[in-house]
């Protein structure tokens, strides 16, 4: 639609299937497709500041702005004290934005509703960092790191090796097969991890994969 418009004007067409194509001129041209909204202008109350008259906007534009307001608010909150820095690697920026931006904003909202307290997003970030670096959490991490896992040979009372199926191989097969079917062709081994809960039988491949994740 190349029809020239002045600011605030709209032009629209609707076909027999109810699909509306419209162009509305604001600061720049805005084009939209809609199967739900009629091509009509609606008065808004967001331009009454300082005695300005109500502004006319297409119904589809108003519905879009109302639906996207939560996303805009989330992006605004995530931008405060952002950890994003300039980088040519886009996936780093995306990961930091999602993990340290959006997730913290969501946690901030849940925290306020759960505690019925108002707290600034910057203060909430400081509380998170303080909790992660607290002595209790540091002690727990050190205890976890100090556990030394190694494979040992399981033996019976006579000192002979006990050969059993690998517990982790069996778990993987159980995700796609029934119990009896999963037991077939499962790798058997004589080794197990003494420091893992319930001392599971493990083959070397599963042991390495389990303790490096």
pLDDT value, residue 108? 84
Length of the chain: 213
CA–CA dist 70, 60 (Å, integer): 17
pLDDT value, residue 201? 92
Radius of gyration of the chain, Cα coordinates, nearest whole angstrom: 30
Residue 199 and residue 162 in contact, taking contact as beta carbons nearer than 8 Å: no
- 155 vs 72 pLDDT, higher one: 155
pLDDT value, residue 47? 52
Within 10 angstroms of residue 149's Cβ, the number of other Cβ atoms is 12
Q: Nearest 10 degrees: CA dihedral of 146, 126, 100, 76?
A: 180
pLDDT average, residue stretch 95-121? 80
Residue-wise pLDDT for 154-204, tens only, equals 998 888 999 999 999 999 888 888 888 888 888 899 999 888 888 899 999
Those residues with Cβ within 8 angstroms of residue 163's Cβ, 6 or more apart along the chain or in another chain? 188, 189, 190
pLDDT surpasses 70 at 143: no
pLDDT surpasses 80 at 35: yes
Q: What DSSP element (H or E) covers 144?
A: helix 135-146
* pTM exceeds 0.75 for this model: no
CA–CA dist 163, 131 (Å, integer): 45
CA–CA dist 163, 41 (Å, integer): 78
pLDDT value, residue 107? 85
Instruction: Identify which of 57, 47, 54, 48 has the alpha carbon closest to the alpha carbon of residue 22.
Output: 57
pLDDT surpasses 60 at 139: no
Cα 94 from chain centroid?
11
pLDDT average, residue stretch 93-103? 70
Q: What are phi and psi of 145, to 5 degrees?
A: -70, -30
**Residue 155 bridge partners (DSSP):** 161
Q: How far is CA 85 from CA 71, 81, 92, 97, 110, in A?
A: 21, 11, 9, 10, 27
Q: What would the DSSP string read from start to end of 81-140? A: T------S-HHHHHHHHIIIIIHHHHHHHHHHHHHT----HHHHHHHHHHHHTSHHHHHH
pLDDT value, residue 148? 76
Greatest mean pLDDT among 63-72, 113-122, 157-166 lies in 157-166
Q: What are phi and psi of 152, to 5 degrees?
A: -130, 160
């Amino acid at each position: 639609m190349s029809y020239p418009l002045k600011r605030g004007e709209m032009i629209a067409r609707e076909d027999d299937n109810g699909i509306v194509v419209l162009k509305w001129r604001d600061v720049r041209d805005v084009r939209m497709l809609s199967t739900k909204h009629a091509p009509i202008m609606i008065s808004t109350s967001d331009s009454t500041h300082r005695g300005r008259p109500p502004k006319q906007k297409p119904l589809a534009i108003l519905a879009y702005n109302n639906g996207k307001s939560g996303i805009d608010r989330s992006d605004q909150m995530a931008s405060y004290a952002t950890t994003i820095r300039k980088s040519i690697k886009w996936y780093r920026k995306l990961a930091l934005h999602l993990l340290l931006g959006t997730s913290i904003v969501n946690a901030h909202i849940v925290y306020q509703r759960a505690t019925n307290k108002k707290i600034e997003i910057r203060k909430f970030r400081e509380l998170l960092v303080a909790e992660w670096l607290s002595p209790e959490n540091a002690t727990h991490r050190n205890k976890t790191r100090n556990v030394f896992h190694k494979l040992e040979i399981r033996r019976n009372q006579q000192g002979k090796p006990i050969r059993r199926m690998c517990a982790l191989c069996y778990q993987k097969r159980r995700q796609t097969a029934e119990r009896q079917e999963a037991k077939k062709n499962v790798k058997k081994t004589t080794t197990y991890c003494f420091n893992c809960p319930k001392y599971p039988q493990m083959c070397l491949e599963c042991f390495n994969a389990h303790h490096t994740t």
